[in-house]
Amino acid sequence: MAPWTPFPHAGDYAWDATRVQQQWSQLHLGDAEPLPQDPAVLHAWALFHNGEFQKAAEAGLAAGGAGITAANKATAVYATYLEPREQTRLGLFMQIAERAQAQAAANAQHANAWYWNAYALGRYCQGISVAKALAQGLCQQVKESLEKAIALSPRHVEARIALGTFHAEVIDKVGAMVGGMTYGAKKEVCLQLFEEALALQPGSAIGMVDYANALVMLEGDERIDEATALYERAAACQPMDAMEELHVAMARAELHEES
C-alpha cells in the first residue's frame, strides 16, 4: 500500500484500545457500530480515532471480521478528506464497496456493510458526476443500501445523513419531478432524514454541514440564513477525534467561502 497523506494534526489525539472501549457509545453514536470483542479490532479503531488512517486500515484488514468495517471507515474518511489524487480516491472508494459487498453477502443483517457500500458508491458517483451515476444505475444501489442500513440499524445517524444527501443531490441534478418519479427522491423525505439525524446526534458537525448543503441545493437563497447558522454551529463543535476534526474543518471552510 503506497503511503497515504498524513492527517494534518498528527499527535492531537491519544486514543488507545481501553479509552476507545470506555467511550465507544459516544465515539460511535454516528455509525451505531457494535462494540468489538477482538482486541486487534479495538486497536484498529484507536488508530482510526487518532487519525492514523492508513495504519487503521491495515490493522483492520489484518484483524478481519469486524476489523473490515474499521478498515472501510478509515479508508473512506481518508479518501474523502485527505487523498489529493482523484483517480486514487475513486479507486479507494471502489475497494471499500467491494469489501462491504462481500460483508453483506456473508451476512445480510450487517448494517454497516450496507452503509459503507452505499457511502463508497455515493462518493464514487460524486466523482464521476451524479448525472453519469444515475445513468449507470449506481445511485439506485446507493439509495437501496442506505435504506437497508437504516432498517437494520434504526439509530444509524450517518446513514440518515447520507440518504438525505442522496435525495437533495438527485433533486438538484434532475429536478423534483424527474427525481421523484424516476429515483424516488423527495424534498420532504430529505429534510425529515436530516432532522432525525440531528435529533439522534445533535452535535454531529457533518450532519449540520450536509443539512446546510441540502437546504441550499433544494431551496437556494431562501434558506441561506439557516444554512449559514448550521455551518456556524458545526464550526463551533469540539471534536472528539480526528474524523470529527476534519468535519469541523469543513464547516469552517464553508463559512470562509461564504464570507
- The mean per-residue pLDDT over the stretch 42-53 comes to 98
Diameter of the chain measured on Cα atoms? 51
- The mean per-residue pLDDT over the stretch 166-170 comes to 92
Q: Which CATH architecture has domain 156-258?
A: Alpha Horseshoe (1.25)
Domain residue ranges in the chain:
12-138, 156-258
Structure-block grid coordinates of residue 3:
503511503
**How far is the C-alpha of 123 from the C-alpha of 30, rounded, in Å?**
18
pLDDT in tens, 177-206: 887 887 888 999 999 999 999 999 999 999
**How far is the C-alpha of 35 from the C-alpha of 168, rounded, in Å?**
32
pTM comes to 0.94
Q: Can you give the pLDDT at residue 235?
A: 97
